[in-house]
Homo-oligomer: A and B are copies of this chain.
Amino acid sequence: MAKKITSIEDHSTEDKIKAAARKVFTQKGFAAARTRDIAVEAGINLALLNYYFRSKEKLFEIVMGENLAHFILGIKGILYNESKTLMEKVEDIVENYIALLKTHPDLPLFILSEIRANPERLASKMDVKNILIQSPFFKQISEETKGKVNPLHFLMNLLGLTIFPFIASPLLRIIGDLKQEDFDALMQERKKMIPIWVKAMLKTK
């Protein structure tokens, strides 16, 4: 197989291809992405793509895996922190995701689209489930709300408030006549507001 000695150098051919693939796949999705686009973006010969990663499919699996890890494992540290309250973790999660999505806005739509297009691909990553439900964070939702709130509702609310605006940003930007910087400013406001809103929601009922 292909092996690179230049692990210090981040501009190895392999890494250039992977970076280009991440960009093209994430922007256009698997089906619309052309291996030739990836090659051009990486500035390499088309055949090198297959030389280093056997196939478009294999390359995609790698990019998708890293994207998923970036997205989900990124908050694992927060979920498993033993010394913070539920609301402190909410603040951390919101802050983490809004920062991440500012630089990688089309990560959520990419992940969710590809899961819909190919649900079985996710099956192998089902440990996602355990990472979440076994976390102290998940227990805290039940405990600190004394069972009055379904943890799934809590999760949907938190993620819906945080992630949805990025997914719908093209529409929202048209509706609100927003430049990129205006949109970013709105998201910064949400960093502060979402924890407050979530707290208010918890007090109902």
Contacts and interface: CB of A to CB of B under 8 A. Distances in A.
A115 B170 contact: yes
Interface residues of A, number: 52
Given A31-B31, A197-B204, A115 B171 contact: yes
A26 to B, nearest CB: 10
A172 B189 contact: no
A203 interface: yes
A29 interface: yes
A76 to B, nearest CB: 14
Interface string A97-134: 00000000010010011011101001000101100110
A159 B167 CA distance: 11
A164 interface: yes
User: How many chain copies does the complex carry?
Assistant: 2
A112 B186 contact: no
A2 interface: no
A87 interface: no
A119 B31 CA distance: 18
Interface stretch (A15-23, A41-49, A149-157): A149-157
Contact of A31 (B28, B112, B193): B28
A31 to B, nearest CB: 4
B168 A159 contact: yes
A152 B201 contact: no
A122 B29 contact: no
Interface of A: 27-32, 106, 109, 112-113, 115-117, 119, 122, 126, 128-129, 132-133, 150, 152-153, 155-157, 159-161, 163-165, 167-168, 170-172, 174-177, 186, 189-190, 193, 196-197, 200-201, 203-205
- Give the 5 A-B residue pairs with the shortest CB-CB distance, closest first: A160-B164, A31-B32, A160-B160, A31-B31, A200-B200
